[in-house]
């Protein structure tokens, strides 16, 4: 399912507009249209702070919202929307939306480990970014390219991610088991320029207003100490990929 009006069919676009108008008419706030944050414990296991810029690669549905949340997360130096899980030849939006390329819409996060840890990024990912119990979908978006996944770049990241999933499942913080897949990153391919900084550039687009802006609000409420009002945009980031 495509989200931008550039790629939505007329019927889907009118449907999205109708939802927006209906919400306005009924005085429903955007937060009610999105999933609520789940309050979860911090991971027991985490990576050591270390030196230098570190990278986390996360997939949790439409990358617009995932990128938007982490761009408002203090300690994140850059968050780039892209594709992982498939080949370079098919790493483009038109092809991955068929669901046949093996890719997932993914965000590559560059962060300062002395300001935010890998485990804290995972806590935000599982709490406010998406619902990790939904298999091959997030909200209205359906397909394997919207799957929940953690692509790791070290054995240490893999251990932390798997231990945290086991911890959350054991604590039964969700009504259903977590379906997030953990596996090594083979390659990350940045998405097209028009996908970058999408949440900030298009705050009034119905999909963003209904499904993604509430996630940023949840970040502000649940992780206030890690929230920054000014987003770190790809177009302005000092750390490149």
* Domain-embedded: residue 234: no
* Domain-embedded: residue 231: no
pLDDT in tens, 141-172: 999 999 999 999 999 999 999 999 999 999 99
| Residue linked to tokens 């109708």 | 18
pLDDT in tens, 43-57: 999 999 888 999 999
Q: Show the domain range for 157.
A: 10-226
pLDDT in tens, 63-117: 999 999 999 999 999 999 999 999 999 999 999 999 999 999 999 999 999 999 9
The CATH number covering residue 75 comes to 3.30.1060.10
Sign of CA pseudo-dihedral 195, 190, 98, 35: negative
CB atoms within 10 A of CB 238: 8
* Domain-embedded: residue 192: yes
* Domain-embedded: residue 238: no
How high is the pLDDT of residue 5?
36
Measured CA to CA, the distance from residue 180 to residue 190 in angstroms comes to 22
How high is the pLDDT of residue 62?
97
* Domain-embedded: residue 39: yes
Is the pLDDT at 4 greater than 50? The verdict is: no
* Domain-embedded: residue 195: yes
Q: Are strands 148-152 and 181-184 parallel, antiparallel or unpaired?
A: parallel
Confidence of residue 241 (pLDDT cuts 50, 70, 90): low
- Burial status of residue 121 (CB atoms within 10 A of its CB: 0-12, 13-18, 19 or more): buried
Is the pLDDT at 7 greater than 90? The verdict is: no
How high is the pLDDT of residue 240?
57
Sequence-distant (≥ 6) Cβ neighbours of residue 222 within 8 angstroms: 37, 39, 127, 128
Residues labelled as active-site residues: 62
- Mean pLDDT throughout 108-132? 97
* Domain-embedded: residue 219: yes
* Domain-embedded: residue 1: no
Structural domains counted in the chain: 1
Tokens describing residue 30: 């955007």
């Amino acid at each position: 399912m495509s989200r931008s009006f550039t790629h939505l069919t007329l019927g889907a676009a009118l449907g999205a507009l109708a939802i927006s108008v209906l919400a306005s008419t009924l005085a429903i706030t955007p937060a009610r249209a999105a999933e609520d944050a789940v309050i979860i414990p911090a991971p027991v296991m985490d990576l050591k702070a270390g030196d230098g810029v570190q990278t986390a690669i996360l997939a949790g549905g439409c990358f617009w919202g995932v990128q938007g949340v982490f761009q408002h997360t203090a300690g994140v130096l850059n968050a780039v929307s892209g594709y992982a899980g498939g080949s370079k030849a098919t790493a483009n939006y038109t092809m991955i939306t068929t669901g046949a390329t093996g890719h997932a819409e993914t965000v590559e996060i560059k962060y300062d480990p002395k300001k935010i840890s890998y485990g804290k990024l995972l806590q935000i990912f599982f709490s406010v970014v998406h619902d990790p119990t939904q298999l091959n979908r997030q909200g209205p978006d359906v397909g394997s390219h919207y799957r929940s996944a953690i692509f790791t770049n070290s054995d240490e990241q893999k251990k932390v991610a798997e231990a945290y999933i086991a911890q959350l499942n054991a604590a039964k913080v969700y009504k259903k088991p977590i379906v997030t897949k953990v596996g090594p990153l083979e390659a990350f391919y940045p998405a097209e320029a028009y996908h970058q900084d999408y949440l900030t550039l298009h705050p009034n687009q119905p999909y963003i207003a209904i499904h993604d802006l509430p996630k940023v609000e949840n970040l502000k409420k649940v992780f206030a100490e890690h929230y920054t009002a000014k987003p770190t945009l790809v177009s302005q980031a000092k750390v490149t990929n």
